[in-house]
Homo-oligomer: A and B are copies of this chain.
């Protein structure tokens, strides 16, 4: 019989851990002195402890280990848990490797381009929810004509007694870059106005998103940035890009205050 300290030294498992395993019914001491509460372990229990350590090394939780070791498991169940474990581990490895690539990309960027540390505007990947909107789609001669499209949209909405329930969204229905005769859709989420024919804007599973601050004349710079990012990070564009007008003339006194989000659907190559 060993006291917990001796047993801990023998097994290289901390006393804290042993007490926890006791509490979780993973490894009950062979005897507990009813008066002092001291735990006494027998030499045979090292086998059991080793089983626990093996399961822990495989990455199972202590709770799973308790279920397995307390007998409620068949070989085929164990096999299935191992398969699930393998799947999870493979995913973990992929995830960590991808994260590693991101870190290395940052390091390269610092080495090459000097100290930018964190730019004000960073590209992030996120999903975009589907949303019901009222929208108008048209082929417009030049970019500057998109204002008119939004104006017609606004008139339709107010005429129907509806209200805008979110920021304006613009979708480029072009697969390539064009600067004339552009197929463009302007949309607003609305509330009320049951007469309006709403239409569901599909969600985007993965979109590369970048916030653009300031006048629309500089939007192309942000597009260049996000395009470079997509290329550098091994994504490719797989859908129509959008602009979301988070802050525009109705809340900003100056064009320099405008805030626009660029969303580009992407997929991992």
Contact = CB atoms under 8 A, between A and B. Distances in A.
Interface size class on chain A is 35 or more
Contacts of A166: 6
A36 interface: no
Contacts of A210: 50
Interface string A95-131: 0110110111011001000111110111110111100
Contact of A246 (B10, B115, B117, B211): B10
A70 to B, nearest CB: 12
Given A46-B246, A96-B89, A99-B58, A107 B79 contact: yes
Nearest to A259: B43
A224 interface: no
A173 interface: no
28 contacts: A6-B166, A43-B246, A44-B247, A46-B259, A46-B261, A50-B122, A50-B211, A51-B118, A53-B124, A53-B126, A54-B122, A54-B123, A57-B124, A58-B102, A69-B118, A73-B117, A74-B115, A75-B114, A75-B115, A78-B110, A79-B110, A86-B107, A89-B96, A89-B103, A90-B100, A92-B96, A93-B93, A93-B100
Interface of A: 6, 9-12, 42-44, 46-47, 50-51, 53-55, 57-59, 68-69, 73-76, 78-79, 82-83, 85-86, 89-90, 92-93, 96-97, 99-100, 102-104, 106-107, 110, 114-118, 120-124, 126-129, 166-167, 209-211, 213, 244, 246-247, 251, 259, 261
A43 B96 contact: no
B89 A100 contact: yes
Closest 6 CB pairs of A and B: A75-B115, A43-B246, A43-B259, A43-B247, A12-B126, A89-B100
B83 A107 contact: yes
Contacts of A213: 44, 47
Contact of A82 (B50, B107, B209, B251): B107
Contacts of A246: 10, 43, 46
A211 B93 contact: no
Contact of A47 (B10, B68, B86, B121): B121
Nearest to A246: B43
A117 B75 contact: yes
Contacts of A86: 100, 103-104, 107
